[in-house]
Structure 1
Amino acid sequence: MEFSCSRVELLEAVNAVSRAVSSKATTPVLSGIYLEALDEALRLVATDMELGIEYTIPVRTKRTGSTVVNARIFNEMARRLPEGPITFCVNGDNPALKVRYHGSELTLNTMNPQEFPLLPAILDGDRLIVNQGQFKQMTRLVAFAASSDESRPWFTGVLWDIQPEEIRWVATDTHRLALLSGQAVEMHVNQPRQVILHGKTLSDVARLLPDEEGPLQITLTRSQALLETDRLRVILRIIEGQYPKYQQVIPRDHKTRLTIPVRALAEAVDRASLASIGKEGSNIIKLSSEGNLLTIRSNSPEVGHIYEEVFVDIDGDPIPIAFNFRYLQDVLKVLDTEQVRLDLFGTLAPGLLRPVGEDHYLYLIVPVRTM
């Protein structure tokens, strides 16, 4: 095996597949990255048997072949290589990988490529195509609301509720819920179905996608999902379990609607959060409204009392309510809009936040009971 490539493209590919390398490998080969030199292309693969990532980059191939290198060492090497052409070579009976650059050379130990579990070919299943920008928006607006508690795995995932007319992406940790509705570019699904995919993994995939627009092809079997572009293939396990009936927790017929500038609200909540810096901080901020003012209060024995005012438009009777400030901060960071509507249904009922003029997204927050 012998090929040459640039450091920039190599590092991009190594960083991509390294996300799937097992941190607690049951066999040594799972701690590695599989390299296969094809005609004018290098295929890199890593898997922990739950998640598999394959990334392809253009190279100048002199001899085809394959090997497996330790992922951590190879990643560190790729980061430290100089700019310019780099040549990789495995010669005959010697399995070591030689790396040559600017007259220098290093040699890396390798593992048997025949022992590496390559990603399966998924040919059958439900298929849909979404825009890569749409996928990145979905993960930005929804995935952060998923839980990090692995004891309830379905809450760590993002639900894809696939209907004939649209797809709904939903995430919740039971304290808040994010929902985004959209349409696929193409859809070949036999019947409506729900699929739960790990939220953090989807966010990782979104980071690997280029900024330019393009199609993301998705194939869904009973137990796996395949996401692929021209360069990238990702196979991940579908999380088993029954997702909660999210439609039932979304309230209707608000009593009060506040229209609030996003930037002003974000800055006010950020300052109010200072009261939680001390050991006795509770993360609670209290909201109340009067006239055209929304007031935000927080306090702690160690820090003191914080009072903020934000000018808003109010329709309905004043309803005092308390939230965990982090749940407001999280959504305000990802919104790309100038104003939001906050619908209130009662002091102890969830609040519903929507971007003004964008009915395809909503964010529900469960209030905090205070004395």
Structure 2
Amino acid sequence: MKIKVNKQEFLKTLRIVSKAITENKIRPIISGVYMEANDSTIILKGTNLELTVTSKMEGEVIEGGNLVFSHQLVEEYLKEISDTEITLSIDGKTLLIETEDSSSEFSVFDADEYPKIRGFKGGKEYKLPIELFVNLLEKSKFAASQTTDNISINCLRMELEGGMLKLISTDTYRLVYITEEVDLDGELKVSIPLKSVEAMIKILVSKKVDDIIFTYEGNQVKFIVGATEILTRVIDLPFPDYDGILNATGYNKEVLIDSAEFKNVLKRVQIFVRNNTESKNSGIFEFKDDLLEVSGISEIAKINETIGIKKDGEDLKISLNVKFLLDYLAFIEKGKNVFLNLSTSSGAVELTIENEKNFKYLVMPLALKD
């Protein structure tokens, strides 16, 4: 194999496919980037067997072929050279990278040992504006379980039905539920692994295209954006019954708060409770008439804050995770108010944005101590 490419384009493509790669000490070849050249097409691919990213780029193919190489050192080297064009070729078991005044060599893997990733062709295609899709992913993924202890919730649930796109995540202590009306027909219900979602966001934010196309077949979802294809497996385990959770609430108290003021108060309280060994991030929230008192305590300090509210319903004292609340408030624009719907000190709290019912957030309370 021998090719000539623009260095910046090669680096950009290399960084895109490397988003799918994680270190694999058992099968080191999976930690590498697969590269193939034929005719006038150059293809780079990265995978962790759960997520596979393939991207095409232009270049001069002098001689076709394929190889697998460790990308970190190559990427670091290419960042330091000033040449705009580079030549890559294979010499035995070595990758040669040549510029006008330098030459470097890198060990390669046997490309025949690289795993064969089975994708699919066909299937119903759906198209969405990429900016909208990235925004929805960012706003919906943060409540997903961060560990793989329970993979049925270490994911983002995506559903399409009747022109309504739904995105849901939960770690059983909180739940995000987002809906968006879209001009799409058909039905889709998939749970996408959180790692795949996070890698996909990193790829999509760097793409200068208008739309993303996605399709689904069997246990895989494929996203196509420009010259890049993102293939991820889906989680086959049942997702929690979020409809039952959303509908089994019984709220009898409603509180309206300025989101920016609420966020500032919580940021100050978090300083005191974030390292609390007895109950990390725990704050006490006491709703009295038209005031909310928020207090927090650590082993060496404590804080009390007061904020004005509009309340409909009886007074209530409840303990909530301050960080969980801040995670939601981070996505609310300044000047917006937020509704808190409550029932008892042991019942879930629902947060929504005033005049916007398509971004719901449920938080379970913590144990209220005397």
Is 2:190 the partner of 1:195?
Answer: yes
Read off the aligned partner of 2:190 and give its amino acid letter: V
Contact map agreement 2:52 2:230 (CA 8 A) in 1: yes
What residue number does 1:234 align with?
Answer: 230
Q: Of residues 301, 312, 335 in structure 1, which corresponds to 2:309?
A: 312
| Structure 1 alignment gaps of length 5 or more | none
Q: Which runs of 5+ in 2 are unaligned?
A: none
Q: Whole-Å Cα distance in 1 between the matches of residues 297 and 223 of structure 2?
A: 47
Secondary structure of the residue aligned to 1:142 is: helix
**Paired residues of 2:168 and 2:178 also in contact (CA < 8 A):** yes
Letter in 2 for 1:195: V
Please list every run of at least 4 consecutive aligned residues from structure 1 whose deviation after the TM superposition is greater than 4 angstroms. 38-41
- Indicate yes or no: 2:329 matched with 1:332: yes
1:246 aligned residue: 242
Distance (whole Å) between structure 2 residues aligned to residue 5 and residue 123 of structure 1: 29
1:30 partnered with 2:25: no
With structure 1 as the length reference, what TM-score do the two structures score? Answer: 0.90
Matched, 1:114 2:78: no
Shift of 1:233: 0.9
- Aligned twin of 1:69: 69
C-alpha contact (below 8 Å) 1:345/1:351 kept by paired residues: yes
1:105 aligned onto 2:103: yes
Q: Conserved in 2, the CA contact under 8 Å of 1:128 and 1:218? A: yes
Give how far 1:242 is off. Answer: 1.0
Cα distance change of structure 1 residues 39 and 340 upon mapping to structure 2, 3 Å threshold: farther
- Equivalent position amino acid for 2:333 in 1: D
Partner of residue 206, structure 1: 201
Number of equivalences: 365
Distance, in Å, in 1 between the alignment partners of 2:156 and 2:131 is 17
**Aligned counterparts, 1:78-89, within 5 A:** 78=78, 80-89=79-88
Letter in 2 for 1:226: K
TM-score by length of 2: 0.90
CA–CA distance in 1 between the matches of 2:207 and 2:48?
27
Tell me the CA shift for residue 133 of structure 1.
1.6
Q: Which sits farther off after the overlay, 291-300 or 274-283?
A: 274-283
Whole-Å separation in 2 of the counterparts to 1:211 and 1:36: 22
Distance apart, 1:38 and its partner CA: 4.6
Contact 1:131–1:214 under 8 Å retained in 2: yes
Structure 2 counterparts to residues 36-185 of structure 1, below 5 A:
36-38=36-38, 41-78=41-78, 80-90=79-89, 94-185=92-183
Percent of pairs with identical residues: 19
CA contact (8 A) 1:17 1:44 kept: yes
CA distance, structure 2, for counterparts of residue 218 and residue 278 of structure 1: 42
Structure 1 residues 208-287: aligned runs within 5 Å: 208-209=203-204, 210=206, 212=208, 214-250=210-246, 251=248, 254-278=251-275, 280=277, 282=279, 283-287=281-285
Q: Is the 8 A contact 2:89 2:97 kept in 1?
A: no
RMSD (Å) for aligned C-alpha atoms = 2.3
Distance 1:175 1:324 in 2: 10
Distance of aligned partners of 1:84 and 1:356 in 2 relative to their CA distance in 1, 3 Å threshold: farther
In 2, Cα distance between equivalents of 1:60 and 1:355: 53
**Residues 162-197 of structure 1: CA distance to partner in whole angstroms, max 9, x if unpaired?**
21231211100000000111234434x3xx452111
Higher mean C-alpha deviation, range 210-219 or range 254-263: 210-219
